[in-house]
Structure 1
Amino acid sequence: MDVSQARARIAAIRAAGEPVSTGELDRLWAAVDTVRPENILGSWKGSAFDTGHRLEGLLATVNWYGKTFHSLSRAQPLICRGADGSLFSNVELGRGEASLWTVEFRGEMTAAMVYDSRPILDHVKRVDEATLLGVMNGKDDAEILDAGRHFYFLLERV
């Protein structure tokens, strides 16, 4: 699969809103381009793929909006929408915030958000100029890996 085929398939999955397997997402991940941390600074609206991963439900209950990368040393992984509609960094759930690094994952160096107080990394790759494909990785913890499956998400530049 090449990059243009991966982009088309990601767009089709998003448009259909149907479940997708983590195996297919693994193949799409392998086809898209790596990205440097300094190239993703800014605000991003997030969405989860429907894979049945337990984090999908958790993020829905906390009204997860997305992520904000202010600088390489200051990233907010859990921007949520409050009852009044305002956005806030949910530092309680995330047990702090994060920073951006270049980290090797599956044999490639790409941007990763490293959580300050949790054994979690959110690796991201570029789908296009306004879209990132992310995969959460960490210690084999029930919150992070669900039956050994990674949590996949999309980020769209705000």
Structure 2
Amino acid sequence: MSIAEKIIAEQQATAAQAQSVFDGAPPVDPDFMIGTWRGAEVRTGHRMDGMLSASGWWGKQFIDAETVHPLLFPTRDGKALWALDPRRLPFDLLMRAPLPSLEGRSLAGLTTVSRPLMGTTKPKARLRTTVYGGVGSATMVYDAHPINDVFRRIGDDTVIGLMDQRGAPPYFFSLQRDDSLPVLARRR
């Protein structure tokens, strides 16, 4: 098992290890990202460690370069996915305010009941090629926040992602292709 595969499997690394794996991984073309991807955090000691897991975050969907759902969550019955509107999340506050540890906690129920207020059927990000660390690779660009998620290839159906936000250290996560659940086209 390579160090990259180990980090993805264990969802844990030092920030330096995750950065080294990311830097050493080949770039991906935006077309490679088309599909639905299941996500997982790579815990590195970042202040956001545990947030996505605690929220019940499932992953991302890339329909085409203009139609991206960056934050997918399972429905109450777990048989489908719904898209959360990131515009409704205070990313600036999350990056600056003191945060309680969410390790071992679940806010998934709260996320699920927030669907009528937080859900969307409209795309909230786009897919582009950007240059990060001197390498051009597929990047998800949020519509409402100055955040880019840059992707590099780990395997045929696996990428490592790096959330790039001005003034914050990189936040790492992984995505594995998984088209097993439908994404709801309208709220129910």
The reply on whether 1:63 has 2:56 as its aligned counterpart is yes
2:130 matched residue in structure 1: 103
What percentage of aligned pairs have identical amino acids? Answer: 29
TM-score by length of 2: 0.70
Secondary structure of 1:39's counterpart equals helix
Residues 49 and 61 (structure 1 numbering): CA distance in 2 closer, same or farther, change over 3 Å? Answer: same
Instruction: Specify which of 75, 78, 88 is matched with residue 82 of structure 2.
Output: 88
Q: Which has the higher contact order (CA 8 A, sep 6+)?
A: 2
Size of the aligned set, in residue pairs, is 144
Larger radius of gyration: 2
Tell me which amino acid in the other structure corresponds to 2:38: K
Compare the two structures and name the one with the higher strand fraction: 1
* TM-fit CA distance, 1:39: 1.7
Whether the 8 Å CA contact 1:63–1:82 is kept in 2: the answer is no
User: Structure 1 length as normaliser, TM-score?
Assistant: 0.83
**Structure 1's 60 and 104: CA in aligned 2 closer, same or farther, altered over 3 A?**
same
Q: Name the aligned partner's letter for residue 136 of structure 1.
A: M
Gaps of 5+ in 2: 92-117, 179-188
The answer to whether 1:133 aligns with 2:153 is no
Deviation at 1:32, TM superposition (A): 0.9
CA RMSD in angstroms, aligned pairs only? 2.0
Question: How many angstroms apart in 2 are the aligned matches of 1:54 and 1:29?
Answer: 19
Q: Please give the per-residue CA displacement for 1:54-78, whole angstroms capped at 9, x wherever unaligned.
A: 3232212321001000110011111
For structure 1, the residue ranges without an aligned partner over 5 or more in a row are: 1-6
